[in-house]
Each structure stands twice: as structure tokens, then as C-alpha cells.
Amino acid sequence: MLTYAIAYLRDFFSSQYIIGETFETSVPWSNIQKVCNGVEQKLIELHHQYNLPGKPYLSYRISQSYHTGVCLYFMFGVYIKGVEQPEVICGQIEHSLRQTIIANGGSISHHHGVGKIRQNFMQDTLSPASIELLHQIKQSTDPQNIFGIRNNVFAEKKSRDCH
């Protein structure tokens, strides 16, 4: 139920000085434990690095399973009372946790797509030839650039750091 609480009751949690996020990935069966352990360790490390109060919250669940692996949903939350720029810190934590997922054998997404939030990961996910092919397909099917503006590999070039 926390998935829904964080996603849909964000205002309530923020009034209690708690912010967090949910995100998903697809993971082969052989990497599930490695991904979960990596994310848990990284969140603890980041919590200390940002000198956040309290303890970080992390949970995860398998929402779908397949012959080749699973969809893992992660939920994290941190207490932010007295923290300057908590939304920036939360975004940086999420970005680092996604890096950890990829480094441990997970994917950039299972079904939420890439969009703007995850676009900086595409250079590590697709080859330059694949990205060029996507640009050519987009140009031929959407020459006026109406759909997916600044999403995915169609974003303007910018820093590889967190958004």
C-alpha cells in the first residue's frame, strides 16, 4: 500500500516532513538480490552523505514475474525537517539509486518509460547507432516534432549529472 501512499498522498507526507519516490525496473532472476542489496546500501550511504535526520525508508516488491526475470518496484522515503533544498536532494538520491540499479544488472525502467527524468541514462543504455536510428525514425514519422518533445533521446544535450 505504500506505493499508493507515496504516489498519491505526497502532499500529506510532505506536511509531515517526509518525501520519497517510487520507481521500477526489470531485473533478470539472477540479479534480484544484487540489485536490492545495492539499492539498500546506496540509500544508507546517501542518507549519511546528505546528513539527513532519522532513518531512510526503503521497501521493494515484485509486481510482475516472467520466465526471464521480474519487475521490481522500489519505494523510498526520507525525513526532511530542517533540510535545505529537500526536493533537490531527493532527486539526487533517486538518480543515484537508478545508477545503482543499472550497475547491478537492472534496467532503466520496466514500463514507466524514460521520459525526461531518466533521459540522461540513455547514453549508457543504447548504442550511438541505436540513438541515431531513433532520431532518424522520429524525423521521418514526426518531422514537426510534436510528440515526445525533449523526452528520452530527443532531449537537448545537457550535463550527464542529475537533472
Tens of pLDDT, residue by residue over 110-146, are 556 565 566 676 677 767 888 788 888 888 988 888 8
Higher pLDDT, 131 or 155: 131
Look up 73 and say whether it is catalytic. Answer: yes
State the average pLDDT over residues 42-63: 96
Helical packing angle, 86-103 and 32-49, nearest 10° = 150
Roughly how many angstroms between the first and final C-alpha of the chain, as a whole number?
28
94 assigned to some structural domain: yes
Same domain, 79 and 32: yes
pLDDT of residue 42 exceeding 70? yes
User: What is the rounded average pLDDT of the residues 77-100?
Assistant: 93
Q: Is residue 74 part of a domain?
A: yes
Catalytic residue among 8, 57, 60, 73: 73
Say whether 75 sits in a helix, a strand or coil.
strand
* 54 and 133 together in one domain: no
